[in-house]
Amino acid sequence: MASLWRAAMGGSTQSTDDYEGVEFWSSPERCGWLTKQGEYIKTWRRRWFVLKQGKLFWFKESTVTRASKPRGVIPVATCLTVKGAEDVLNKQFAFELSTRSDTMYFIADSEKEKEDWINSIGRSIVQHSRSVTDNEIVDYDSKR
């Protein structure tokens, strides 16, 4: 898991390249509180998460402004799966986000929140996956 966190964090220091051009403070696709497991010390901490433009950001506080600095950023295009993980962690409302090499764990506040996050992140993975080109994304509404 350490390599995923380092990749998400741009090594040991956070790079603004990870979120340059993403207005995470305005009109997110989804935002809310989740509890996530730490990379090195496996404690659970409550963080404010924002999903926008294929990036999953987290912050200490829910008040996010232009001046806010994310505590971390995960480019969802690097993720392969997002699914429930209650059996793995033995914790209610748990889910996991996995890449080829690592898995990160989160806990939502309710079953509905868990399902909403899984659905939103799943849609974002599909939309931003490197295996899907813009030409392959079909806008069904424009075909009518």
DSSP 3-state of 94: strand
Position 35 scores a pLDDT of 98
Tokens linked to 127: 């939309």
The domain limits of the chain are: 2-10+27-131
What is the CATH code of the structural domain delimited by 2-10+27-131? 2.30.29.30
- 21 φψ region: left (φ > 0), alpha (ψ -120 to 50), beta (else): left
H/E run at residue 49: strand 44-52
> Looking at the whole model, is its pTM more than 0.85?
no
pLDDT in tens, the chain (144 residues): 444 444 444 443 345 566 778 999 999 999 999 999 887 888 999 999 999 999 999 999 999 999 999 999 999 989 999 999 999 999 999 999 998 888 999 999 999 999 999 999 999 999 987 554 544 444 444 444
Separation of alpha carbons 121 and 43, rounded Å: 23
Query: Are the CB atoms for 82 and 71 separated by under 8 Å?
Result: no
